Amino acid sequence: MRVAVTGGAGFIGVHTVEALLDGGADVVVIDDLRHASSRRLPDHIELVEADVAGAEAREAVKRFGAEAVVHLAAQGGVNRSWREPVEDARANVLGTLSMLLAAVDAGCRRFVFASSGGALYGSTDRLPTPETEAAAPLSPYGTAKLVAETYLEMFTRTRGLSACALRYGNVYGPGQDGTGEAGLIAISCRRLLAGSAPLIRGDGLQTRDFVFVGDVVRANLLALDSSATEPVNIGTGVQTPVNAVVAELMATAAVQARPERVPAPAGEVRRCCLDNARARALLGWSPNHALSDGLSRTYRAFAGAASVPAVS
């Protein structure tokens, strides 16, 4: 299969590209390299440096003869979406629309889109949250993902494109850089290794559904081979408080410190826990990595103690 991966130089993207290559796929990466992962792409990979909302990226999909698109490129920060909502919409709405048009023009048979679970559902009391729960985003980021999903559904219904949105939980693992505002686990690993206290936004009682990047990559590949067009949650079905995650990382690092606390950002979801029954039924997917294992693998990767593969 010939697969175009947008955002393929990013955190989830690099791992996805590696897994596709291991499976015998031909891959082109389309990425503007603004959020490239610390984990490098294979040297022989074809890379088109372009903005996914632009004509160059669309032309690259067709020129490559892509049979499928895995659309991972995004503006991924809730905080930034409040500061720069127009740019957020450009990346997450127009970028997705651009790639949908490219996929149709290239005659692609499959389109897999990286959406969001927590940001889409908002402050629901229904936990674990199924895909049938009404979307009620609390941020421009979540709203943009919802609009992008609406475009997917419309293209499936009117243009014959088989498209599926995967609603990720909070993805973490080796290769996440931890230098921005998003990515609690990566940021905490980086701060601990630098001798700084972990940073917690808010009271730390907010919960998240943390899902290991290797499990997300498997979901991406399973979705490529599936005909499912409904949105699918990709989460563990377990909610974990931020305080507990930071405490476990400090124990792993053998560090005793009082976390630094700052106010929670606007639009932050209080609780996130995704029902993965649909993923099990439609994709045959379930998470392989318990949080304790994933945290250990991630910290070891940051510490440079071992080369830690994401998919195993």
141 among known catalytic residues:
yes
Residue given tokens 């160059």 in the structure block: 56
The count of other CB atoms within 10 Å of the CB of residue 136 is 13
Strand partners, 233: 167
Q: How far apart are CA 61 and CA 79, in angstroms?
A: 31
Q: How far apart are CA 277 and CA 163, in angstroms?
A: 19
Dihedral pair phi/psi, residue 127, rounded to 5°: -130, 135
3-class state of residue 187 by DSSP: helix
Q: How far apart are CA 218 and CA 216, in angstroms?
A: 5
Distance of alpha carbon 57 from its chain centroid, rounded?
20
Q: 223 and 71 in contact (C-beta within 8 Å)?
A: no
The count of other CB atoms within 10 Å of the CB of residue 192 is 22
Q: How far apart are CA 214 and CA 220, in angstroms?
A: 10
Three-state SS for 204-268 is CCCEECEEEHHHHHHHHHHHHCCCCCCCEEECCCCCEEHHHHHHHHHHHCCCCCCCEEECCCCCC
Catalytic residue among 121, 141, 151, 299: 141
Which active-site residues does the annotation give?
Answer: 141
